[in-house]
Amino acid sequence: MSETYRFNVGAFECLVMKVGGNPRSAAAFLPDAPPDELERTVREFNGDPNLLPFSMNVVLVRTGTNNVLIDTGLPTSDVVSKLAEQGVVAGTVDTIIITHGHGDHVGGILDAAGEFVYPNARYIIWKSEWDFWTADERFPEGDTNPTRTTWETLKANQDRVTTLGIVGTEAEALPGICAIAAPGHTIGHTALLIESNGEKLLHIADAAHQPFQMAHPEWCPGFDYEKSISPDSRRKLFERAAKENALLLAYHFEFPGIGRVVEREGKLGWQAGN
């Protein structure tokens, strides 16, 4: 059996699936952070600077009305088999929310033949992220980016796609699921606030990759597209989770990626689990 974790947000049933990820060193992850301070901070968060866990956590939310998949992993992640182990057939997934366009989030949309893995799903994405990946100049002739086929196929099937964020920084994706603009990691990177019966889950996707970034949101990994604004997105999401006492889930935190942001002596800390 694959690594899976079930929990509820109010009446919503949530399933987290670990679909990949390999450990890496803190120095490789944050090459611009001061080495001594980086090591100290990682250890303060009970981590090993030489072996940071780096999971890939795909989430299924069953609202009672919709079966919502948040991101799809890599082409090799085989989310379909992991769902089947839990009694969920790919054809029953009716909504896929794309938090951003990197390959480890959209790589599972198509199969090897270029067909939709989830035949009955519609796709929801922030408009600026959609515009970035589907721009005519994004993939010039000969570009070997593995996501090229995915974006060209989605662009050719725009009737399946709903874009959000035309106005404002928050927009309802589905009843109980609100998309929140959290740019920086990518142009239109999106977080999600999931609410049911007074309970909340803040899914921050790739706004942060490690809990210790709570202590230093200004530390940016090399794969943040816009390092001038990603720290502000990180900081706001961490502070919101603490203020609203919401569960927080991150795509790359150690599986299952869930915990709470707690304030201790004026500083934010991480309490794993729900």
pLDDT, average across residues 27-31: 94
What average pLDDT does the structure give for the chain? Answer: 96
Cα atoms in the 13 Å half-sphere on the side-chain side of 14: 27
User: Cis peptide before 231, with omega less than 30 degrees from 0?
Assistant: no
CA distance 170 to 191: 9
> Please, what is the end-to-end C-alpha distance for the chain in angstroms?
22
- Assign 52 a pLDDT band (cuts: 50, 70, 90): very high
Is residue 117 helix, strand or coil?
Answer: coil
pTM of the model: 0.96
Residue showing tokens 């662009």:
155
pLDDT, average across residues 167-173: 94
pLDDT score, position 181: 98
Using CB atoms within 10 Å of the CB of residue 54, give its burial: 0 to 12 exposed, 13 to 18 middle, 19+ buried.
Answer: middle
- Assign 266 a pLDDT band (cuts: 50, 70, 90): confident
